[in-house]
Amino acid sequence: MNTRGRYPPGIGNGRGGNVNANPNFQARNPQQQYVQRSTVQNPQQFQQQQQQQWLRRNPMGTESGSNEVEKTVQSEAVDSSSQDWKARLKIPPTDTRYKTEDVTATKGNEFEDYFLKRELLMGIYEKGFERPSPIQEESIPIALTGSDILARAKNGTGKTAAFCVPALEKIDQDNNVIQVVILVPTRELALQTSQVCKELGKHLKIQVMVTTGGTSLKDDIMRLYQPVHLLVGTPGRILDLAKKGICILKYCSMLVMDEADKLLSPEFQPSVDQLIRFLPENRQILMFSATFPVTVKDFKERYLHKPYIINLMDELTLKGITQYYAFVEERQKVHCLNTLFSKLQINQSIIFCNSVNRVELLAKKITELGYSCFYIHAKMLQDHRNRVFHDFRNGACRNLVCTDLFTRGIDIQAVNVVINFDFPKNSETYLHRVGRSGRFGHLGLAVNLITYEDRFNLYRIEQELGTEIKQIPPHIDQAIYCR
C-alpha cells in the first residue's frame, strides 16, 4: 500500500446500507390506531391503501366481495397517472452481503404499511432502505401515534431512521417553526444525523439545521432567522440559543434523545433539564440508546408520560461481530498492529486509544509503517474534525485512530474492523466501540490488545456483557475468512 499523507482531500462516494426482511416471518397487521393519526394529503391514495390493507387483513372474506374491492383497486390504479412513482425512483443497487438476525428478524412489515407521505417514502427507498428493521418496526408506528418512547436496541440496527422517519412524517412543512429537536452528545453524530434527515426528506420541503459547539454562534443566529423545521444539535449549543431568545422552541412537539444514556450523564443532564423547560407541556419525547443506566429511570418518571417501552436487547453485543484478544506487552503493541494490518482484509478500520496524546503518537507510527491513517480527537479544531470525519466517511483513508469521541452512533458502513489498541475501562465503552464494526447486520471483527494490567478488566467486561472474547488464533486471516 502506498504511503499517504494523513489528510488527503476527500474522494469517493459515501456508503449506505439496505434493509432485508426475513422471508420466513408472517406479515403483521398494522394496528388501527396507526391509520387514524394524521390528516391525509391525498384522499384517493389513502382510500386505495385502506382497501389494499383490507384485502390483506380479510383473506377469508366472500369471494365476490374480495373481487369487487380488488376490481375497484385495480381500476383506480389504472386511472391514477402517478401509480408508477416507485418505478421512477433512483434506488441504489441491492446490498447482497450477509446480514445477521439483528436486522433480519422482522415481522415482515413494509414502509408503506405506515401510510407515510409519498415524498417521504421516495426518500426512504432512494436511501436504499427496503423494509423496516426490527427497531424501526417497533418504533415508527408507536411514534406516529404521539406516544413517548423509551427504546433499547443494539448499535448499528437502524435506530437513526427509527426516529427520523416519524419526525419527518409529523412535520408540517407549511408551518415555519421548529417542530422537532434531535439531541445528540457529539458534534460528529449531529452532522451525521442531520445528513440522514436531509437524505430521507429530500423530496419534502423540510428545512433541517444542525448546530453544535465549536462552530460560529453568529452563523447559527443568522440561520435561525430563516425557516427551520427540524433542529439537530448538542444540548449546550441549543440551550445557549434558546436562552438568547433566538431559538424558539414553544412550538416544538417532539424531542428526540439519541444516545440517551450519554445525554443523561453529569456532563449533559443539567443542560437537557433546562432545555426541556423551553418546550411545550404536551411535547412527545423519544429516547434511544443501546445501554440505559439507572439515571434513565429518574428522568423517565419526571418527563415521560406513560412511555412505550421497547427492548430488543436479549443480548448486548452484535451477533455478526467476532471478538478476539491478544496478550501483548506494551512495547509490542505497534508490531502486533502491523501484523494485523498485513493479515486482515480491512475495508476500513477504527483504532481506539485511551488518551489524546496516544492517538497522535499512534497515528504517526502507522503512517511511518506505510499505511494511510487519519486521527481525530476532541482537542482538534472543529473544522479539522469535520474534514477528517467527512473524508474518512467517503473512503479517502483506510484507518482512523481516535479517542472515545468516536464511539457514539458513528455509522460508517465500510468499517469492518475495530482494534482496541488500548483496552477500555468499562463494558459500556467496550460495547459502543466494537459496535462501530458490523453495521446493520454485516459481519465485523473486534481485536483487543491486552496487557498484563488489562486481564481483570477483560474478564469483568466478558461477564457484564455475557459475551466471549476468544484468544486470537495463530492464523488470524484463515480463522476469520475460512470459518
Stronger pLDDT, 473 or 303, i.e. the higher one? 303
Choose the weakest-confidence range: 1-10, 76-85, 386-395, 467-476.
1-10
Q: Which of 224-238, 364-378, 440-454 has the highest mean pLDDT?
A: 224-238
Stronger pLDDT, 11 or 324, i.e. the higher one? 324
What strands lie across the sheet with 230-233, from one edge to the other?
A: 208-211, 230-233, 180-183, 254-258, 284-289, 149-152, 308-311
Q: Residue 111 CA to chain centroid, in angstroms?
A: 17
Confidence (pLDDT) at 45: 55
Tell me the helices (H) and strands (E) count for the chain, helix number first: 19, 14
Q: What are 182-204's pLDDT values in tens digits?
A: 999 988 889 889 999 999 999 99
423 and 457 in contact (C-beta within 8 Å)? yes
Confidence (pLDDT) at 379: 86
Stronger pLDDT, 85 or 402, i.e. the higher one? 402
Which domains are present in the chain? 30-83 (no CATH), 87-311 (3.40.50.300), 321-481 (3.40.50.300)
Asked if the model's pLDDT at residue 322 lies above 60, the reply is yes
Q: Give the residue from 104, 81, 92 showing the smallest Cα distance to 21.
A: 104
259 and 289 in contact (C-beta within 8 Å)? yes
Confidence (pLDDT) at 235: 95
From CA 381, how far away is CA 286, in angstroms rounded? 32
* Confidence bin at 346 (pLDDT 50/70/90): confident
Confidence (pLDDT) at 407: 64
Asked if the model's pLDDT at residue 130 lies above 50, the reply is yes
| 118-126 and 187-200 helices, crossing angle to 10° | 120
> Average of pLDDT values for 342-368?
91
319 and 101 in contact (C-beta within 8 Å)? yes
Paired strand residues for 210: 232
Q: Which of 241-250, 255-264, 372-381, 390-399 has the highest mean pLDDT?
A: 241-250
Percent of the chain with pLDDT strictly greater than 70: 73
Asked if the model's pLDDT at residue 57 lies above 50, the reply is no
Percent of the chain with pLDDT strictly greater than 90: 43
Q: Which three cell numbers stand for residue 282?
A: 404536551
Asked if the model's pLDDT at residue 27 lies above 60, the reply is no
Backbone angles phi, psi at 450, to 5 degrees: -110, 125
- pTM of the model as a whole: 0.62
> Average of pLDDT values for 449-468?
89
> Average of pLDDT values for 412-430?
87
Q: What are 247-296's pLDDT values in tens digits?
A: 999 999 999 999 888 899 888 999 999 999 999 999 999 999 877 766 77
Confidence (pLDDT) at 59: 44
Paired strand residues for 373: 399
> Average of pLDDT values for 163-171?
95
Please give the single-letter amino acid code of residue 53.
Q
Choose the weakest-confidence range: 22-31, 149-158, 172-181, 392-401.
22-31
Mean predicted lDDT score pLDDT of the chain: 79
Asked if the model's pLDDT at residue 474 lies above 70, the reply is yes
Q: Give the residue from 192, 193, 198, 270 showing the smallest Cα distance to 236.
A: 270
Confidence (pLDDT) at 117: 93
- Burial of 18-50, coded b for 16+ CB within 10 Å and e otherwise, reads bbbbeeeeeeeebeeebbebbeeeeeebeebbe
Burial class (CB in 10 A: 0-12, 13-18, 19+), 325: buried
Residues 6+ apart with CB under 8 A from 330: 451
> Average of pLDDT values for 54-58?
43
- How far is the CA of 38 from the CAs of 55, 131, 144, 306, in angstroms? 22, 22, 8, 21
